[in-house]
Amino acid sequence: MRIRIKLPTGEFAGYYQAFAPPDQEDVCMNYILAHLLNLFTRCTVQLLYVNFVSLRDEFLVRRAVSSLPICENMHLEGRECRRDHNGILATTAVTKSYRSSSMVFTGKRVVDKLACTDRIDSMNSSWMTRESLLNLNCTNVILDRSIFIQSDLLAFLKKWQKTTDGSMERIKRMEIGVPNSVLPLDLKEVGGKPWSTKRRPQWFEDWDCCNGIDIKRADGEWCTVLQRPLNTFRFVVWKNLNNP
């Protein structure tokens, strides 16, 4: 495990590592981390990267980083990250980007520390609740292997449609893998309309949106919902179209 520190001047203090008795590595790591944060009171933890493949079973990452209240970016790599996933997010807030590469089912959890602004990329999102989904305000989101149901996705669309206070303004592109039978959604209740060339372009970056359904927000902004390929919910927001 390594932690990268950025000083208030913008310079990087480097990567910090530590060696300790095998049965106390996580405790010692936490002491060192707490000391560094106390020493560099104005520093920013830019990246918390954990490769679970290289860790022993006795090493508890949630214990090792329990002194870390916030970091900009978090990357949890390896199948076994499911062991400490909930504990880490319960104590450490993530403000910019989060990535987890574990595809193992991790169970439903309540997470209130995922406040990313830039990117969320989770290969297994079974831990995401409806509340977590509705509170997202992140530019790019990939949530694979979720356990969301139709009402969760419709609740998200309804909230976006009515929200004009900026609390969902960062959302630009979202892809969610959902269980069988969740799609297709009936988007009539949110005023869904087929694509019109007069309203928006066909392509959003590398996504072909010709088969998408468009939804208008209260302030006039448009989004498009794609329900292909199979079991994949895609959502994009068109900024500054200024179309009727």
Give a yes or no: residue 82 inside a domain: yes
- pLDDT value of position 64: 86
Helix (H) / strand (E) containing 38: helix 25-39
Residue 233 covered by a domain: no
Alpha-carbon span 169 to 163, nearest angstrom: 9
Q: Looking at residue 118, what DSSP letter applies?
A: S
Question: For residue 21, what are the domain limits?
Answer: 2-185
pLDDT tens for 23-44 read 888 888 888 889 889 988 888 9
Predicted TM-score of the model (pTM): 0.83
> From the centroid of its chain, how far is CA 86?
14
Quick: pLDDT tens for 170-215: 999 999 999 999 999 999 999 999 999 999 999 999 999 999 999 9
Say how many domains are in the chain: 1
Any idea what the Cα angle at residue 147 is, between residues 146 and 152, rounded to 5°? 100
